[in-house]
């Protein structure tokens, strides 16, 4: 199981605004591009999106289905990775002061990824998650305005 976390300098509502936009999926998920709706209303349970997946010089169509959602704290997806099989990807979104702590937990479910699941695969997933969460943070911070006070609580002026 590969679990990773990242602190995003925006409130949970800003993170959700990006997670709920299926057209942005390819901008923050490593190896994907050109995301578009497939069925249902993203990110409701059962809704799906498709996108292009790049593995080296190969390109194929990937698909992700929403399996569980509990706003504002949890989103669980099942990603179909072609010959690699499927994976469960769970996002835990927690308020952390004026920011958001995002924890991602991914593990293979079926197919080649599930058969070959081992500590080396988890290490590769950790590296992928580091990049993915950094991309998500940059995208959230780019497309949403910061809090008017810069994300800090106002403090009383110092006494002279």
Q: Measure the CA–CA gap between 61 and 55, rounded to whole angstroms.
A: 11
Strand order in the sheet with 58-70: 2-8, 99-110, 86-96, 74-80, 58-70, 48-55, 32-39
What confidence tier does 19 reach under pLDDT thresholds 50, 70, 90?
Answer: very high
Least confident window among 8-22, 26-40, 95-109: 26-40
- Domains of the chain, by residue range, sit at 2-143
Tens of pLDDT, residue by residue over 80-109, are 877 778 989 999 999 999 999 999 998 888
Strand partners, 86: 80, 110
Share of the chain above pLDDT 70, in %: 88
What confidence tier does 124 reach under pLDDT thresholds 50, 70, 90?
Answer: confident
The closest of 71, 94, 87, 80 to 6, measured between CA atoms, is 94
Average pLDDT over every residue of 128-133: 86
Q: Output the pTM of the full model.
A: 0.83
> Which residue's structure tokens are 């835990």?
92
CATH number given to 2-143: 3.30.530.20
Q: Which of 30-39, 91-100, 109-118 has the highest mean pLDDT?
A: 91-100
Instruction: Pick the more confident residue, 70 or 153.
Output: 70
């Amino acid at each position: 199981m590969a679990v990773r976390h990242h602190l995003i300098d925006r409130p949970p509502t800003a993170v959700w605004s990006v997670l709920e936009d299926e057209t942005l999926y390819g901008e923050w998920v490593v190896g994907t591009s050109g995301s578009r709706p497939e069925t249902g209303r993203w990110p409701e349970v059962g809704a799906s999106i498709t996108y292009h997946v790049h593995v080296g010089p190969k390109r194929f169509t990937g698909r992700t289905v929403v399996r569980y959602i509990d706003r504002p704290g949890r989103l669980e997806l099942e990603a179909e990775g072609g010959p690699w099989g499927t994976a469960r990807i769970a996002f835990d979104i927690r308020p952390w002061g004026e920011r958001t702590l995002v924890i991602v937990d991914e593990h293979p479910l079926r197919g080649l990824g599930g058969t070959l699941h081992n500590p080396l695969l988890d290490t590769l997933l950790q590296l992928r998650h580091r990049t993915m969460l950094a991309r998500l943070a940059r995208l959230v911070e780019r497309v949403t305005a910061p809090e008017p006070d810069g994300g800090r609580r106002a403090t009383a002026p110092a006494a002279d």
